[in-house]
Amino acid sequence: MTAIPSFTGDANPYLGGDPYADYRTADFPFTRYANLADRQLGAGVIAANDEFFAQRENLLVPEPAEFDPEHFGHKGKIMDGWETRRRRGASAEHPWPTAEDHDWALVRLGAPGVIRGIVVDTAHFRGNYPQAVSVEGASVPGSPSPEELLSDDVKWTTLVPRTPVGGHAANGFEVLAEQRFTHLRVNQHPDGGIARLRVYGEVVPDPEWLSVLGTFDVVALENGGQVEDASNLFYSPATNTIQPGRSRKMDDGWETRRRRDQGNDWIRYRLAARSQIRAVEIDTAYLKGNSAGWASVSVKDGEDGTWTEILPRTRLQPDTNHRFALPAPAVGTHARVDIYPDGGISRLRLHGSLTQEGTAGLAARHQELGG
């Protein structure tokens, strides 16, 4: 198990200048996985017991938290995060919160999956962060309401036990529960503020839903596709290429640094399961002076399979969606897109369906993980 850096204690009061100058963070190994709490996937903070100072929805904002030292409202300092009021005890003789007092927020994951790590970010919460946090997970089918999630018949599994955290820091936690989760309950003890929440893991789709769909994008993140590796991540993550919808701006795709050699850049993917691919889409939306010049797509069947080219090296146009119907279905478990010589693409779509073996394997994994 990789040791995860931890932070505790107050940060210094803000005295001016760059508010991130004394921010505490680390390179957490689990951040190579997709963020299952991404709003782009459909995640949401559906309820909280208290959001007096700052709204719960801020937890999932994709950009880093901002800080304006002069931004005050009628309730006090306006923070870019989720912040609750100060808890008080029951009487003058006992003015302090009890050990059990805490605030909570319910988070619906954008895509159900196995969680590998969680970051509870307290950026800019220097003296008003929680003393400790804990996180629980549940697997509930359908679209449950907050009341249904809080009912006694929902089983919650501890993912992060009650753990002290630091102010103005990225507090990372490795998660070892090998289960499929759909919702989280984030607790802060006894009160305070959290700027951002990130939940990293592997999507585990519902095999019955994919079976009903028949034909779908077998590399899409929401359907269980995953980036395994990429040649270059200088400007943006390769996972962007399998996000839902079309790219909305240049950094919503994948762009590499400029090459000064005779090589090329690439991304390797794991498909949702063994699939038959019948059509390919390569989109260069918003990449105008920096799109890839050419691209090819290959697949392999199994970890030890050999790569077979299904789309030969083909000229790409900037800011354009390119569609290619394959002459025959291509069967595989992995795919690779090569771009020449460098640049970027915004999306890759591989349209097809699961093979009989792929359907059985996905159903077995879904059941094994408690889905």
Write the pLDDT tens digit of every residue in 251-278.
999 999 999 999 999 999 999 999 999 9
Question: 108 and 156: one domain?
Answer: yes
Write the pLDDT tens digit of every residue in 34-78.
999 999 999 999 999 999 999 999 999 999 999 999 999 999 898
Question: 239 and 327: one domain?
Answer: yes
How many separate domains does the chain show? 2
Tell me whether residue 159 is exposed, middle or buried, using C-beta atoms within 10 angstroms of its C-beta: 0 to 12, 13 to 18, 19 or more: buried
Question: 179 and 249: one domain?
Answer: no
Q: In this structure, is residue 16 part of a structural domain?
A: no
Question: 249 and 281: one domain?
Answer: yes
Question: 75 and 99: one domain?
Answer: yes
Question: 228 and 313: one domain?
Answer: yes
Q: In this structure, is residue 313 part of a structural domain?
A: yes
Residue where a domain stops, chosen among 203, 222, 240: 203
Question: 312 and 346: one domain?
Answer: yes
Could you tell me the pTM of the whole model?
0.93
Nearest to 112 by CA among 34, 189, 202, 28: 202
Residue 160 domain boundaries? 29-203
Rounded mean pLDDT of the chain? 96
CATH label of the domain that carries residue 225: 2.60.120.260
Q: In this structure, is residue 366 part of a structural domain?
A: no
Write the pLDDT tens digit of every residue in 133-179.
999 999 999 999 999 999 999 999 999 999 999 999 999 999 999 99
Q: In this structure, is residue 6 part of a structural domain?
A: no
User: What does the alpha-carbon distance between residue 227 and residue 23 come to, in Å, rounded to a whole number?
Assistant: 29
What integer pLDDT is reported at residue 2 of this predicted model?
59
Q: In this structure, is residue 10 part of a structural domain?
A: no
Residue where a domain stops, chosen among 203, 228, 244: 203
Question: 284 and 148: one domain?
Answer: no
Write the pLDDT tens digit of every residue in 333-345.
999 999 999 999 9
* Helix/strand/coil (H/E/C) assignment for every residue in 212-278: HHCCEECCCHHHCCEEEEECCCCCCCHHHHHCCCCCCCHHHCEECCCCCCCCCEEEEEEEEEEEEEE
